[in-house]
Amino acid sequence: MRLHFSPSMRSITVSSSNGFIDFMKIKVAARHISYRTLFHTILVLAFLLPFVFILTAVVTLEGVNDCSSLDCFGRTWGPRLLGRVDASKQRLVSEFYKVFNQVSTEEIPDGLKLPDSFSQLVSEMKDNRHDAKTFAFILKAMMERFEKEIRESKYAELMNKHFAASSIPKGIHCLSLRLTDEYSSNVHARNQLPPPELLPLLSDNTYQHFVLSTDNILAASVVVNSAVQSSLNPEKIVFHVITDKKTYAGMHSWFALNPVYPATVEVKGTHHFDYLTRDNVPVLEAVENQEGIRNYYHGNHIVGTNHTNTTLRVFASKLLVRSPKYISLLNHLRMYIPQLFPKLDKVVFLDDDVVIQRDLSPLWDVDLNGKVNGAVETCKGDDEWVMSKRFKIYFNFSHPLVAMHLDPNECAWAYGMNIFDLRAWRESNITETYHWWLRENLKSTLTLWRLGTLPPALIAFRGHIHPIDPSWHMLGLGYQNKTNIENVKKAAVIHYNGQSKPWLQIGFEHLRPFWTKYVNYSNDFIRNCHILES
């Protein structure tokens, strides 16, 4: 590098050592240069010269010192200053893209040996020095293998959870057997429910009437206990508990031996209702259609499901509707409440997987505006499992009958805590509509909707729903592991709809205490059956 002053001191030139390029040339405008100007010039040069020296050294070290113009400098340092890689690296990346694109459309070669881990892959690459295409094939095969294993494990988890949710826990089975035996041997277990002097209350419309249909004795006790303990006027509560014939003795024994004073409890079996005949209840035809039901619920079609073409949510939904409860008459009884209780005007219907945390007396003051069913709508939130459900979730819109009559985007609503105006119901055609669609579903070999009571009810109650505030009925405690605890505490009724029931081992631990607080663990039957608090 050279520094050259002209004889007249009018210009100063900085050039490279080979003399082919002028890096910098400073011309002095004045004919006579002042000492101040000279000082400033030298100061600028003192700042610039080290920088120029460093650039020149770097260029030399990288082997491009034979460049003869600033264009070489720009090509070399421009991309670096802009954060780009050099051309060789770009070509390498481009070649890899080409290889990956090619491999993505080709079949993986037969017999390709795959490493078990990434570290083994790196080791084999070093030892065998595979080409880029072979490496891409190995990487693709490993990814596909891992994706398949993860997917299959998720399906296996759903399947195992389905079996766990459909089974009866040993403790609850024990409770039912012991109470049934008690009914036959203990006269007090056969006491009339309610006592004769309270029979008029069963049809007194000044009282608050609850209807509960279940074959789970422990769950029924929690629903009744929570309602009575949360009520400001428990003496005004009348519970109508309906169960099946096999559970009736045990259910009667429980409430006879464990009265919930001052509330009134009635226990009846389905065999006690004269109305429940095959002529009056066409749903019995579906329940008695053993061959179709057996194939639908217990066939091995689930085992042969093509997981590649089935999403996890669809698979979970198919498992859910294959629960044995959907072929139980108890699950359909809610549609016959006006006929089963002809003297009642208004009732609140409850599922057996709910807990009442607040006084429900105000529900009897809710003006349904001539509607039949006061319910929480389930299409108002972002939660895909609970609060984002519309008709398209439940119905097969590829069927022409469904497509002709229903709107896929119509809002759904929830069973589990419903206010029923029985007078308005009796003046409607809701039950007849329910029966008509059940028959059509049978004619269509059960293809109009996934089995269950909610889909036909969504059709039957169209135009008869009065939305109530969601704070009355919080859903999803059997689905949502991350349910907001503060919201749970505020809800009047919490609903463990879903597979993770609080009485099952698969129940969510942090949500179970809201249910177990109403279980009497000091009771001899519960203690002897080892139904222990978690």
pLDDT of residue 35: 59
- The sheet carrying 2-5 orders its strands as 2-5, 11-15, 22-27
* pLDDT(425) > 80: yes
H or E element at residue 339: helix 337-340
pLDDT band at 402 (very low <50, low <70, confident <90, very high): very high
pLDDT of residue 377: 93
* pLDDT(183) > 90: yes
pLDDT of residue 57: 56
pLDDT band at 81 (very low <50, low <70, confident <90, very high): very low
Name which residue leads in pLDDT, 426 or 483.
426
| Inter-CA distances, 5 with 2, 14, 33, 39, 453, Å | 10, 9, 13, 15, 100
Contacts 24+ apart (CB under 8 A), 161-167: 161/499, 161/506, 162/319, 162/320, 162/322, 162/323, 162/499, 164/499, 164/504, 164/505, 164/506, 165/323, 165/499, 165/500, 165/501, 165/504, 165/506, 166/323, 166/324
* pLDDT(7) > 60: no
Say whether 249 sits in a helix, a strand or coil: helix
Q: What is the pLDDT of residues 226-242, one digit of tens each?
A: 999 999 999 999 999 99
pLDDT of residue 117: 76
pLDDT of residue 147: 78
The pLDDT of 108-134, averaged and rounded, is 75
* pLDDT(322) > 70: no
Report the C-alpha gap between 502 and 495 in whole angstroms.
10
Judge: domain 164-529, CATH 3.30.2350.10: no
Nearest CA to 181 out of 254, 131, 80, 231 is that of: 254
pLDDT of residue 265: 98
Nearest CA to 503 out of 107, 162, 166, 219 is that of: 219
The pLDDT of 124-132, averaged and rounded, is 72
* pLDDT(84) > 60: no
Task: Rank 164-178, 430-444, 457-471, 495-509 by mean pLDDT and report only the highest.
Answer: 457-471
- Reading the block at residue 514, the tokens are 């809201």
Name which residue leads in pLDDT, 107 or 358.
358
The fraction of the chain above a pLDDT of 90, given in percent, is 47
pLDDT band at 109 (very low <50, low <70, confident <90, very high): confident
pLDDT of residue 273: 93
**Ramachandran category for residue 113: left, alpha or beta (phi over 0 → left; psi -120 to 50 → alpha):** beta
Is it true that the peptide bond before 194 is cis, omega within 30 degrees of 0? yes
Name which residue leads in pLDDT, 3 or 121.
121
Domain locations in the chain?
Answer: 164-529
Q: What is the pLDDT of residues 502-527, one digit of tens each?
A: 999 888 999 999 999 999 999 999 99
pLDDT of residue 300: 46
pLDDT band at 464 (very low <50, low <70, confident <90, very high): very high
Name which residue leads in pLDDT, 414 or 446.
414
Under 8 Å between Cβ of 57 and 50: no
Report the C-alpha gap between 71 and 78 in whole angstroms.
10
Give the list of residues 6+ apart from residue 301 with CB closer than 8 angstroms, or none: none
The fraction of the chain above a pLDDT of 70, given in percent, is 70
Q: What is the pLDDT of residues 230-276, one digit of tens each?
A: 999 999 999 999 999 999 999 999 999 999 999 999 999 999 999 88
